[in-house]
Chain A
Amino acid sequence: MNFQPGTSLFLWLLAILVAAASATGVHRIFGPRGGWGLAFIPAGVVASMLRLWPSVVGMQAVTISFDWVPELNLALTLRLDGLSLLFALLITGIGALVLVYAGGYLKGDQRLGRLWAFLLLFMAAMLGLVLADNLLTLFIFWELTSITSYLLIGFNSDKPESRASALQALLVTGAGGLALLPGLLLLGVAGGSFEISSLLNDAESIRQHSLYVPMLVLILAGAFTKSAQFPFHFWLPNAMAAPTPVSAYLHSATMVKAGVYLIARMHPILGGTNEWFWMIASVGAITMIVGGLLALRAADLKQILAYATISVLGTLTMLLGIGTEATVTAALAVLVAHAFYKGGLFMVAGGIDHAVHQRDIRKLGGLRSAMPATFSAACLAGLSMIGMLPTFGFVAKEVWYESIGDASQRPFLAASVLSNICLVAAVGLVCVTPFFGRRTETTREAMENNLATWAPPMFAGIVGLLLGLLPTRISELLSAAGHGVVGHAVPVKLALWHGVNVTLLLSLLTLAGGFTLYWQRHRMEAWFSGVDRLAQFGPAQWYHRLLTGVIELARGLTAILQNGYLRFYLLTMVGLTVFSVWMALGSELQSRLHPVSLDLRVHEILLIGLILAAAVVAVRATTWLLAVGALGVVGYGVAGIFVMFGAPDLAMTQFVIETLTVVLFVLAFSRLPDFRRLSSAATRVRDAVIAVVAGATITALLLFAMTVRSDHPISDYYSAHSVAEAHGRNLVNVILVDFRALDTLGEITVLSIAAIGVYSLLKLRASKEGSVDDKTTADPPATSARHTEGM
């Protein structure tokens, strides 16, 4: 084919998205076996990636760029270098296994097609994340992985704990994303570009930038939440509410490594400083130990694996934080080893769950003979996890221990050995306890799973073994990936056997410690109950309190602001308006209030007096008839003012409308109760004061408005063009029916809607005795007697 190699980067994403779109259809036609077919898409992507291998390991990155939103300098730039290739291979390779596995795991479930679709969507998002060269593109894919993760954790949406776990994961990683975005923006602004490849050239000035520490902290907040670093680790064990294929894929092999990827990607730009070292290495080390210890406390297979994953994520973070050539290589090697053994172990745990519907290790035992294939897969993965010869896990652990062999790095080495001892014991809990010993109640009838359920973990285990036996090829890839992390070529020479040295002795010590710990695990009960007591101060509780606190706050605020008392809403609006008017215009109002001419004529004084007197009567009336009459007098008075000041059209309309209003009021009010005095005297005085202050404000505002108006171009335009263009001499009429005819049409529409509303409200009454509302049964008898009357 004759296209740019970069085009294939784009085609990968497209192919996976097409597969996602067709997943439900595939399930409908082929059933669970369709997983083998769907797996061909990511497998094909893997093959296509391997074709680019020579170019990438030759340090020649493959790039393609589209202008996405050129106005915002937003480009969809994809770039495949060694680091991206490493991640991309893991994402698609393990993704293919998981698709097959999901077919076996959810066999017979109607929702399998949806699960495939979500998994493929996630795959596309994750692939986009590791291929993105533009910071903003990276962020968008980052958030997409959070959203697909939410959908996948909450897959069993009928279970409340699934929904709660999904929400927790979304909130924690989403909060991290919220921090990440400003961090990336700061970075882009400080570096003058949003392309990672061009930021690399300005790394030195970015590290000197005055906003370096804030941007680092914000970006790390995103990475730490995503990769479940302490103290944000708690969402990951809860995410095990997801179906096991999801746990194997997102929450061990890929998504949780997105944070690690981000740290690795940022290392050549932001790394190498003291802040980088301390923040990342210390958080990583703490996470590593906390995860390892908590893994031993859990009893659920998936929980054990989740905490073990947290521990490894801590390891990766710590090694990248230390950031030497050797530790970066070690981090990448551990990452590859972990993806295969942990993905495999999750699938094994799911297989056990699938076979006996039980994941509690206290209720499992003796499955070895019943499920030989699953057991073999568990052994392969477990051997790699404990770092036993000749698996890749062994190679990775050797490189890891060796990389922090300097005297100054002793604390990290000690922490690593400690966490690994815990992990070895955890492997015992996952790979030994369920398979050996006596058969229990639950495992008595156990049968081996179907091929699609045990083959993928087996395959992952075999890959882990082969990588260990043939480390040359993987050395090439790690070397190219290391180039992306440290900025220059890293010589990587992985080997299965290094001879007998300190590192090997440490490995033996780790194994021995782990075996002892597993053997004597019952002695740790007391210690665990201490941890449980500590857990109530743990970050999961902070999350819980924060969440309930926010909801309580919202509830409290709503109770205050939306209290249901109409007059308080009015009070708030009027009070706020008066306050803002005086705040904004107070001084100006006073300076502008110069004496106005009191050019009054007698009939005008009489009319104004009549209006004000009628208003007072309306307020103080004790019967509705008096109030309605007073309201009518006010209306006629206003019409009189219109007459006197050159507005006969208004006056006519006002007279007609006012008459109609009074008639309507009299009709309706005769069926309403008479005025009652409901408020206390104090309330009335308070309201009166507020009302008078509001009225005075309006008066002041009006006087101010009259002084500032200097020109009336719109009116002048209408005056000049009325006869010529609209052939009308009554300017008001011409404006309404000609110049602003569309507004008048709107007005008519409002009138019609109001009329329909009035009509239907009255009509509703007719069928009232029937079915319209049965709430009237609660009416007091006195009022229900009125219901029979018409209006």
Chain B
Amino acid sequence: MDIALAITVGGLYAAGIYMMMRRSVVKLLIGLGLLSHAANLLIFTAGGIVRGRVPVVPNGQSQPITEIADPLPQALILTAIVISFAVLAFALVLIYRTYQTLGTDDLDQLKATDT
């Protein structure tokens, strides 16, 4: 399973990086979204994967009794999901406004600070 997930992560990274290198600013956003998923999945896989063992302490116990999924990467990813949503939303609005003001979606025409 490890290797399959690793390949998935690599594939998502490749797709994200490719899209981010496009000249179209809209594609850049799609690339950013793909890259966020890739990064989350990377942390998840790197933390070690266990099928089905939810990191919850059963009632009446003071500690988990069986092996459970590692809660730490999950906490990190939960934060990452939310933050990347904030970044994506901000980038989306920024690009939307840029396009409105400058009338182009071609990054090559957004090179200078003055228009």
Is chain B a partner of chain A in the same complex?
A: yes
Whether the pair B26, A672 counts as a contact (CB closer than 8 A) is: yes
Whether the pair B100, A731 counts as a contact (CB closer than 8 A) is: no
Does A500 belong to the interface (CB within 8 Å)? no
How far is B100's CA from A709's CA once the two chains are assembled, in angstroms?
Answer: 49
B34-45 vs A: 1/0 string, CB under 8 Å? 100110111011
A627-657 vs B: 1/0 string, CB under 8 Å? 1100100110010011011111110011001
Smallest beta-carbon distance A39→chain B, Å: 53
Does A679 belong to the interface (CB within 8 Å)? yes
Does A193 belong to the interface (CB within 8 Å)? no
The B-contacting residues of A in range 664-683, CB under 8 angstroms, are: 664-665, 668-669, 671-673, 675-676, 678-679
Given contact pairs A646-B54, A758-B89, A675 touches B6 in the complex (Cβ within 8 A)? no
Whether the pair B78, A645 counts as a contact (CB closer than 8 A) is: no
A730-753 vs B: 1/0 string, CB under 8 Å? 111001100010011001001100
B75-115 vs A: 1/0 string, CB under 8 Å? 10111011101111110111111011111011110011001
Whether the pair A712, B70 counts as a contact (CB closer than 8 A) is: yes
Partner of A706, one of B46, B59, B89: B46
Chain A residue numbers with a CB within 8 Å of B20 are 567, 570
Smallest beta-carbon distance A135→chain B, Å: 47
Given contact pairs A612-B11, A675-B27, A758 touches B71 in the complex (Cβ within 8 A)? no
Smallest beta-carbon distance A671→chain B, Å: 7
Whether the pair B6, A699 counts as a contact (CB closer than 8 A) is: yes
Does A561 belong to the interface (CB within 8 Å)? no
Partner of A649, one of B9, B70, B74, B89: B74
Whether the pair A747, B52 counts as a contact (CB closer than 8 A) is: no
Smallest beta-carbon distance A316→chain B, Å: 54
Chain A residue numbers with a CB within 8 Å of B86 are 750-751, 754-755
User: What is the predominant secondary structure among interface residues of chain A facing chain B?
Assistant: helix
Chain A residue numbers with a CB within 8 Å of B71 are 715, 718-719, 731-732, 735
Whether the pair B15, A616 counts as a contact (CB closer than 8 A) is: yes
Residue of A nearest to B72 (CB): A715
Does A414 belong to the interface (CB within 8 Å)? no
How far is B34's CA from A691's CA once the two chains are assembled, in angstroms?
Answer: 13
Partner of A634, one of B28, B37, B96: B37
Residue of B nearest to A721 (CB): B63
Partner of B22, one of A608, A679, A776: A679
Whether the pair A743, B105 counts as a contact (CB closer than 8 A) is: no
A604-640 vs B: 1/0 string, CB under 8 Å? 1100100110011011000010011001001100100
Whether the pair B26, A641 counts as a contact (CB closer than 8 A) is: no
The stretch of A55-63, A93-101, A168-176, A778-786 that contacts the partner chain = A778-786
Whether the pair A757, B13 counts as a contact (CB closer than 8 A) is: no
**Tally of contacts, chain A with chain B, CB under 8 A:** 295
Whether the pair A692, B2 counts as a contact (CB closer than 8 A) is: no
How far is B57's CA from A590's CA once the two chains are assembled, in angstroms?
Answer: 39
Partner of B14, one of A653, A695, A718, A764: A695
Chain A residue numbers with a CB within 8 Å of B24 are 675-676, 678
How far is B103's CA from A329's CA once the two chains are assembled, in angstroms?
Answer: 80
How far is B48's CA from A431's CA once the two chains are assembled, in angstroms?
Answer: 91
Smallest beta-carbon distance B100→chain A, Å: 6
Whether the pair B74, A631 counts as a contact (CB closer than 8 A) is: no
User: What is the predominant secondary structure among interface residues of chain B facing chain A?
Assistant: helix
Residue of B nearest to A627 (CB): B30
Whether the pair A645, B49 counts as a contact (CB closer than 8 A) is: yes
The B-contacting residues of A in range 278-309, CB under 8 angstroms, are: none
Chain A residue numbers with a CB within 8 Å of B37 are 634-635, 638
Whether the pair B108, A565 counts as a contact (CB closer than 8 A) is: yes
Whether the pair A668, B93 counts as a contact (CB closer than 8 A) is: yes
Partner of A657, one of B17, B19, B23, B82: B82
How far is B44's CA from A641's CA once the two chains are assembled, in angstroms?
Answer: 10
Whether the pair A699, B57 counts as a contact (CB closer than 8 A) is: no
Smallest beta-carbon distance A724→chain B, Å: 6
How far is B50's CA from A705's CA once the two chains are assembled, in angstroms?
Answer: 16
Smallest beta-carbon distance B94→chain A, Å: 6
Whether the pair B18, A619 counts as a contact (CB closer than 8 A) is: yes
Chain B residue numbers with a CB within 8 Å of A775 are 101-102, 115
How far is B1's CA from A538's CA once the two chains are assembled, in angstroms?
Answer: 73
Does A574 belong to the interface (CB within 8 Å)? yes
Residue of A nearest to B94 (CB): A761
How far is B95's CA from A722's CA once the two chains are assembled, in angstroms?
Answer: 43
Does A357 belong to the interface (CB within 8 Å)? no
Smallest beta-carbon distance B43→chain A, Å: 10
Whether the pair B89, A747 counts as a contact (CB closer than 8 A) is: no
Partner of B111, one of A564, A604, A627: A564
Whether the pair B89, A695 counts as a contact (CB closer than 8 A) is: no
Chain B residue numbers with a CB within 8 Å of A502 are none
Does A469 belong to the interface (CB within 8 Å)? no
Partner of B69, one of A647, A661, A678: A647
Residue of A nearest to B50 (CB): A646
How far is B52's CA from A513's CA once the two chains are assembled, in angstroms?
Answer: 106
Chain B residue numbers with a CB within 8 Å of A645 are 44, 49-52, 69
The stretch of A13-21, A420-428, A595-603 that contacts the partner chain = A595-603
Whether the pair A672, B51 counts as a contact (CB closer than 8 A) is: no
Residue of A nearest to B17 (CB): A691
Whether the pair B30, A628 counts as a contact (CB closer than 8 A) is: yes
How far is B51's CA from A406's CA once the two chains are assembled, in angstroms?
Answer: 99
Does A211 belong to the interface (CB within 8 Å)? no
Given contact pairs A570-B20, A654-B81, A720 touches B63 in the complex (Cβ within 8 A)? yes
Chain B residue numbers with a CB within 8 Å of A618 are 15, 19, 30, 34
The list of the 3 closest CB pairs from A to B, nearest first, reads A695-B14, A699-B10, A646-B69
Add 4 more A-B contacts to A723-B61, A729-B56, A786-B100 (CB < 8 A).
A615-B11, A646-B50, A715-B71, A729-B58
Offer 6 A-B interface pairs, CB within 8 angstroms, sorted by A: A608-B4, A646-B50, A672-B96, A697-B10, A719-B63, A751-B82
Q: Interface of A with B (CB < 8 Å)? A: 563-567, 570-571, 574, 596-600, 604-605, 608, 611-612, 615-616, 618-619, 624, 627-628, 631, 634-635, 638, 641-642, 644-650, 653-654, 657, 660-661, 664-665, 668-669, 671-673, 675-676, 678-679, 687-688, 690-692, 694-699, 702-703, 705-706, 709, 712, 714-715, 718-720, 722-724, 729-732, 735-736, 740, 743-744, 747, 750-751, 754-755, 757-758, 761-762, 764-765, 773, 775-776, 778-780, 782-784, 786-787, 791
